[in-house]
A and B are shown apart, each in its own frame.
Chain A
Amino acid sequence: DTGVSQDPRHKITKRGQNVTFRCDPISEHNRLYWYRQTLGQGPEFLTYFQNEAQLEKSRLLSDRFSAERPKGSFSTLEIQRTEQGDSAMYLCASSPQRGQPVMNTEAFFGQGTRLTVV
């Protein structure tokens, strides 16, 4: 399967613990996005990488959240001191860069990591 891969698929953690999720984008895609989706809602943008540079962060991304993409390939999203409100599906997407304007391509999504904070 050469699609976007996310690991783990499910994570249950106790409130206050730290969690880390991994995303492996499609190999030739240099753009990577993280979204969060709660029940009954569409995805909400969290952050965007172009290669290893984090170019945009949503105000939803509090200081407990950090994302990295150290070599411009896979990315990690860490949540520190988890809270029950962090329970959601965390989606990763990637897209290739094809000229301008900057977002003139569709994003390809992984299956997500479902986080439950108890």
Chain B
Amino acid sequence: AQSVSQHNHHVILSEAASLELGCNYSYGGTVNLFWYVQYPGQHLQLLLKYFSGDPLVKGIKGFEAEFIKSKFSFNLRKPSVQWSDTAEYFCAVNARSNYQLIWGAGTKLIIKP
């Protein structure tokens, strides 16, 4: 069965620090990969996605993620975080052969001003 693992449940950083959130998945076939963000009191929003092509994908608000197929990883990065990045971040994967998104448990990110 597919699964998604996010390594950190809580991350606290100061403004301007660099961010990397880990995401690993288990599935041997072709996958689509997503990072979603949920700001306090808001709905889930897509940050970025990978379907094919360049494994380094850029999303909104300065976020990027790198797909490393050999490591089954899709880590999220941002070089310099802002207070407004305080939110919960979810990694999600779906196999090309079905409709389900399989989600990680999420990482709560708190940025100290």
- Seen from chain A, the residues whose Cβ lies within 8 Å of a Cβ on chain B are 3-4, 31, 33, 35, 40-45, 48, 55-56, 58, 91, 93, 101-104, 106-112
Complex CA–CA separation, A102 to B30 (angstroms): 13
Query: Given A103-B96, A112-B43, do A45 and B32 touch, yes or no (CB 8 Å)?
Result: no
Q: Give 1 or 0 for each of B10-29: 1 = CB within 8 Å of chain A CB.
A: 00000000000000000000
Residues of B within 8 A of A (CB): 4, 9, 32, 34, 36, 42-46, 49, 51, 90, 92, 94, 96-106
Q: Is the CB of A103 within 8 A of B94?
A: yes
Do B106 and A109 touch (CB < 8 A)?
no
Task: Report B97 CB to chain A, min CB distance, Å.
Answer: 8
User: Which chain A positions have C-beta within 8 A of B9?
Assistant: 40
CB pair B100 A45 closer than 8 Å: yes
In the complex, the answer to whether B101 meets A107 with C-beta atoms within 8 Å is: yes
Contact (A55, B44) CB under 8 Å given A42-B92, A106-B34: no
Interchain CB contact (< 8 A) of B44 among A44, A45, A109? A109
Assess the A91–B44 pair: CB atoms within 8 A.
yes
The distance from the CB of B45 to the nearest CB of chain A, in whole angstroms, is 8
Q: For the complex, what is the distance from the CA of A93 to the CA of B97, rounded to whole Å?
A: 19
Contact B32–A42 (Cβ < 8 Å): no
Q: Which of the residues A40, A101, A104 comes within 8 Å of B105, measured between beta carbons?
A: A40
Chain A: CB-nearest residue to B36? A109
Question: Could you list 4 further interchain pairs (A-B, Cβ under 8 angstroms) beyond the known A35-B101, A104-B32, A110-B43?
Answer: A41-B103, A56-B99, A103-B32, A109-B45
List residues of chain B with CB within 8 A of the CB of A107: 46, 101
21 A-B residue pairs with Cβ-Cβ distance under 8 Å, sorted by A, are A4-B43, A31-B99, A40-B106, A41-B105, A42-B92, A42-B103, A42-B105, A43-B103, A45-B100, A48-B100, A55-B99, A56-B99, A58-B100, A91-B44, A93-B44, A103-B98, A103-B99, A104-B51, A104-B96, A106-B46, A109-B45
Q: Complex formed: what's the CA distance from A4 to B45 in Å? A: 12
> Chain B: which residue is nearest A112 at the CB level?
B43
